[in-house]
């Protein structure tokens, strides 16, 4: 079976089936490109470390038989409670790793992985007060009291009522 | 941005020629030695002095890489216009297109983090290789080329479609929302790509702890799109200024209801318009401080507008509705009750341009007459609901026109108009008529 190598940012090589790798639209397009002539083929997505690379490969391997993800329907209500159990377990990682996965999925254009990772982050935000969210993600509160009050008032009336 | 590269081979070559020129001036748009420079400008001789590679690595590259010394060779290895079109269609960023293919030819880089525009560096916000909206990237490229700036244009591009803070003078705590041409980018002129002492330290540090705010704004917007309005409103928008600005991003506001808000003025509508978001519904009823200018701005930038509601906006003239009619062919609902200044002219334009119109309300628009309504009826055969009230100039003629031209009519109101029983008889002949 034809394979392709992924080289992580720190130089390690990981071999993966071409068919599995093609879940990444980035890789798929590169493989179909005319300029791609080498025998010993490898791809180096920037900033995908040797820790993240195998995880991405693992996710893609598990999902290799999935049907292609549907196009984003902007009008459809977006749900976050439909993450498959395997993915939920897979994504029980520290935040740093989660964000690295998001970035890798973004660069490699793996829609399914990007979707579940973003939903996971959304779930980390849901149901929390701003202070709790800040604690979760270690974000500094840069509002002055005035600004905070402003946000609380004006946008309330501007948030549209539907959706 | 797509048109910059995809359609025309010449543009492609021109671009790589420009890159080569810039390289000589140490002004590669990717700021110094980077993968693209390396590939495009060849592996030996023209390599910059401060290129961090060992000579062994360089020669290894020379073995494995095709020397790309001319624009023609570059063109062969960059995506063809057809392929680029595929990428464009998917809205990929220019970076991923350019970096992608040449990645295959890359050297075994000893210190990878110094090569490409790095995402983790002191200038966090500026160096994220993310999918940029194309217009922003092109803007920045043009800016960079004009200025001959050595700044890393790739990353941060605060595009016109990325969030803009309602209080722009704020400068936004983390300084992300700079406009392409703004001063703040020039203030941090040393780009992350230059392996500078302090930055590389911070890079390695931050490489270990990816922070949520280091994610590209497009990703954060994607995350926020999974939240409900309430969660964005009560939770996310109060976390920090950056999140506030993202949450207020008009991409979440397809249906905007500003009714009754006196603080809404033209500048807000212009801002909404400038975001180029496809607003589908707008309600500015009772907004006394909105003028024609604001409405026209919005209309001309929102071709996807479906519902326009503007009750009691007596300050608005025909111009507003005319502009809406001309620019919004998908319009289905127009409720412009109590706008004294509306005339038949606007209705004629609606009849001409808005074939999808289903629901109209022109009650108490005293200047409207049969002429306008007949034109509307003749143009908009899908009309289902028509409401008129106290329009003295409206007679049976209009009713007849509706009856004859609008088979889907469900509701017709003509209270206080000059409509007689004759008109009603016309209507009863309409099959789908449910309530008169």
**In sequence order, what are the residues at sequence separation of 6 or more whose Cβ sits closer than 8 angstroms to the Cβ of residue B204?**
B113
DSSP one-letter code for B65: S
Residue A36: pLDDT above 60?
no
| Distance from C-alpha of B233 to C-alpha of B167, rounded to nearest angstrom | 17
Q: Å from B257 to nearest chain A CA? A: 5
Helix (H, G, I), strand (E, B) or coil at B420: coil
Residue A135 belongs to a domain: no
Which residues of B are less than 8 Å from A162 in CB distance?
255, 257
Please list every residue in chain A whose beta carbon sits closer than 8 Å to the beta carbon of residue B118: 47
Residue B63 parent element (H or E): helix B55-64
pLDDT tens per residue, range B186-203: 333 333 333 344 444 444
CA A137 to chain centre: 17
Cβ-based contacts of B209 with chain A (< 8 Å) = 96
Which pLDDT value is given to residue B28?
Answer: 41
Q: How far, CA to CA in Å, does B48 sit from each of B34, B45, B53, B214, B272?
A: 10, 8, 10, 30, 46
Determine the pLDDT at residue A95.
Answer: 93
Sign of CA dihedral A137, A24, B138, B276: negative
Judged by CB atoms closer than 8 Å, whether chains meet at A121 and B103 is answered as no
Average pLDDT of chain B? 64
Give the pLDDT score at B245: 85
Number of Cβ atoms within 10 Å of the Cβ of B188: 16
* In a domain? residue A51: yes
pTM over 0.90: no
Confidence class of residue B281 from pLDDT cuts 50, 70 and 90? confident
Distance from C-alpha of A107 to C-alpha of B100, rounded to nearest angstrom: 10
Predicted confidence at residue B309, as pLDDT, reads 93
- Checking if the pLDDT of B11 tops 80, the result is no
Closest by Cβ to B90, choosing from A25, A158, A162 = A25
The answer to whether residue A85 sits within a structural domain is yes
Residues from chain B that touch A45, judged by Cβ atoms under 8 A, are 103
- 8 Å CB contact between B11 and B5: yes
Q: Is residue A78 part of a domain?
A: yes
Q: Is residue A107 part of a domain?
A: yes
Q: What is the CA radius of gyration of chain B?
A: 29
CB–CB of A143 and B255 under 8 A?
no
The 8-class DSSP code of residue B282 comes to E
**Per the domain annotation, does A150 fall within a domain?**
no
| A78 pLDDT higher than 90 | no
Chain B positions touching A10 (Cβ under 8 A) are 112
| Phi and psi torsions of A87, nearest 5° | -65, -40
Which of A111-139 are b and which e, b meaning 16 or more Cβ less than 10 Å from the residue's Cβ?
bbbbbbbbbbbbbbbbebebeebbeebeb
Q: Report the C-alpha gap between B192 and B152 in whole angstroms.
A: 7
With contact defined as beta carbons under 8 Å apart, do B122 and B197 qualify?
no
Cβ neighbour number for residue A77 with a 10 Å cutoff:
7
Residue B267: helix, strand or coil by DSSP?
helix
How many domains does chain A contain in total? 1
Residue in A33, A121, A152 closest to B79 by CB: A33
pLDDT > 60? residue B220: yes
Residue from A160, A162, A163 to probe the interface with B (highest B Cβ count within 10 Å)? A160
* Rounded mean pLDDT, A121-148: 92
The answer to the question of residue A110 being in a domain is yes
pLDDT at B141 over 50: no
- Rounded to two decimals, the ipTM of the complex is 0.89
Q: Which of B76, B238, B255 sits opposite A148 (nearest CB)?
A: B238
What residues contact residue A146 under an 8 Å CB cut-off, 6+ apart? none
Own/partner contacts of A125-134, CB < 8 Å, gap of 24 or more, are A125/B223, A125/B227, A125/B231, A125/B235, A125/B236, A126/A80, A126/B227, A126/B231, A126/B235, A127/B231, A128/B235, A129/B235, A130/B235, A130/B236, A130/B238, A130/B239, A133/B235, A133/B236, A133/B239, A134/B239, A134/B240
Residue B45: Cβ within 10 Å count: 8
DSSP 3-state assignment of B106? Answer: coil
Tell me, what's the pLDDT at B412?
86
Give me the DSSP letters along A59-110: HHHHTTTSPPPPPP-TTSPP-SS---HHHHHHT-S-HHHHHHHHHHHHHHT-
* Torsion of Cα atoms, B60 then B62 then B63 then B67, to 10°: 160
Find chain B residues with C-beta within 8 A of A106's C-beta.
130-131, 216, 219
Is there a contact between B231 and A125 if contact means CB atoms under 8 Å apart? yes
Query: SS3 sequence, B361-405?
Result: ECCCCCCCCHHHHHHHHHHCCCCCEEEEECCCCCEHHHHHHHHHH
Mean pLDDT of chain A: 83
pLDDT for A73 equals: 62
- CATH assignment of the domain containing A37: 3.30.710.10
DSSP three-state, residue B424: helix
Predicted confidence (pLDDT) per residue in B398-429, tens digit = 888 888 898 888 888 888 888 888 777 777 76
**A54 CA to chain B: closest CA distance, Å?**
17
Q: Which of A28, A35, A101, A104 to mutate to test the interface with B (most CBs of B within 10 A)?
A: A35
Per-residue pLDDT at B240: 92
> Exposure of B428 by Cβ count < 10 A (0-12 exposed, 13-18 middle, 19+ buried)?
exposed
* Predicted confidence (pLDDT) per residue in B43-76, tens digit: 333 333 333 334 444 444 444 444 445 544 444 4
Q: Which residue of B has its CA nearest to A100?
A: B210
Report yes or no on A148 lying in a domain: no
Find which of B223, B224, B283, B285 to mutate to test the A interface (most A CBs within 10 Å of its CB).
Answer: B223
- The region of weakest confidence among A17-31, B14-28, B237-251, B391-405 is B14-28
Residue A38: which domain range? 3-126
- What is the tens place of the pLDDT at every residue in B152-161? 333 333 333 3
| Contacts of residue B297, Cβ cutoff 8 Å, sequence gap at least 6 | B266, B269, B270, B273, B274
The answer to whether B83 contacts A10, with C-beta atoms less than 8 Å apart, is: no
- For residue A89, is pLDDT > 60? yes
Q: What mean pLDDT do residues B122-144 have?
A: 40
**Share of residues in chain B with pLDDT > 70 (%):** 48
Instruction: Say how far apart CA B319 and CA B40 lie, in whole Å.
Output: 53
| Nearest Cα residue to B139 out of B161, B117, B112, B122 | B161
Q: How far apart are CA B415 and CA B392, in angstroms?
A: 10
Average the pLDDT over B74-88 and give the result: 44
- At residue B334, the pLDDT reads 94
Sheet holding B385-389, edge to edge: B255-257, B281-283, B307-309, B333-335, B359-361, B385-389, B411-415
Q: What is the pLDDT of residue B134?
A: 39
């Amino acid at each position: 079976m034809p394979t392709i190598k992924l080289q992580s940012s720190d130089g390690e090589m990981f071999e993966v089936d071409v068919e599995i790798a093609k879940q990444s639209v980035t890789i798929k397009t590169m493989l179909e490109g005319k300029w791609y002539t080498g025998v010993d083929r490898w791809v180096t997505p920037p900033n995908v470390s040797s820790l993240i690379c195998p995880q991405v490969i693992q996710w893609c391997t598990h999902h290799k038989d999935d049907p292609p993800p549907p196009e984003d329907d902007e009008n459809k209500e977006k749900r976050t409670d439909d993450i498959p159990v395997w993915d939920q377990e897979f994504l029980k990682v520290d935040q740093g790793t989660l964000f690295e996965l998001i970035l890798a999925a973004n660069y490699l254009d793996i829609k399914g992985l990007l979707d579940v990772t973003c939903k996971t982050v959304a779930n980390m935000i849901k149901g929390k007060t701003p202070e709790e969210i800040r604690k979760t993600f270690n974000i500094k509160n840069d509002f002055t009291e005035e600004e905070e009050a402003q946000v609380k008032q004006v946008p309330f009336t501007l948030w549209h009522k539907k959706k | 941005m797509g048109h910059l590269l995809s359609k025309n081979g010449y543009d492609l070559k021109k671009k790589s020629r420009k890159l080569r020129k810039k390289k000589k001036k140490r002004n590669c748009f990717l700021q110094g030695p980077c993968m693209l420079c390396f590939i495009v400008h060849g592996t030996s001789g023209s390599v910059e002095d401060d290129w961090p590679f060992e000579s062994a690595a360089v020669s290894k590259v020379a073995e494995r890489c095709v020397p790309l010394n001319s624009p023609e060779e570059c063109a062969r290895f960059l995506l063809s216009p057809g392929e680029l079109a595929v990428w464009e269609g998917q809205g990929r960023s220019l970076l991923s297109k350019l970096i992608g293919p040449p990645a295959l030819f890359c050297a075994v880089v000893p210190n990878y983090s110094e090569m490409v525009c790095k995402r983790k560096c002191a200038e966090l916000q500026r160096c994220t290789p993310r999918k940029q909206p194309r217009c922003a990237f092109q803007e920045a490229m043009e800016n960079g080329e004009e200025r001959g700036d050595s700044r890393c244009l790739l990353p941060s591009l605060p595009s016109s479609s990325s969030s803009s803070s309602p209080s722009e003078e704020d400068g936004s705590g983390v300084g992300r929302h700079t406009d392409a041409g703004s001063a703040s980018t020039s203030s941090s002129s040393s780009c992350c790509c230059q392996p500078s002492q302090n930055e590389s330290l911070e890079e390695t540090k931050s490489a270990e702890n990816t922070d949520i705010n280091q994610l590209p704004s497009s990703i954060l917007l994607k995350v926020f799109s999974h939240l409900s309005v309430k969660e964005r409103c009560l939770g996310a928008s109060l976390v920090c200024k950056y999140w506030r600005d993202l949450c207020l991003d008009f991409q979440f506001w397809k249906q905007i209801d500003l009714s009754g808000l006196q603080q809404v003025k033209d500048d807000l509508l212009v801002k909404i318009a400038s975001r180029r978001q496809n607003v589908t519904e707008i309600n500015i009823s009772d907004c006394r401080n909105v003028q024609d200018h604001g409405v026209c701005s919005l209309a001309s930038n929102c071709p996807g507008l479906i519902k326009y509601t503007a009750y009691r906006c007596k300050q608005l003239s025909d111009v507003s509705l005319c502009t809406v009619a001309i620019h919004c062919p998908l319009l289905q609902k127009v409720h412009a009750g109590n706008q004294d200044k509306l005339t038949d002219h606007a209705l004629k334009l609606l009849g001409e341009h808005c074939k999808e119109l289903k629901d109209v309300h022109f009650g108490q628009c005293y200047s409207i007459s049969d002429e306008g309504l007949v034109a509307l009826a003749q143009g908009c055969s899908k009309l289902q609901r028509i409401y008129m009230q106290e329009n003295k100039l409206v007679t049976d003629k209009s009713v007849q026109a509706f009856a004859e031209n609008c088979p889907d009519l469900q509701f017709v109101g003509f209270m206080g108009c000059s409509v007689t029983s004759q008109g009603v008889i016309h209507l009863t002949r309409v099959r789908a008529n449910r309530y008169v």
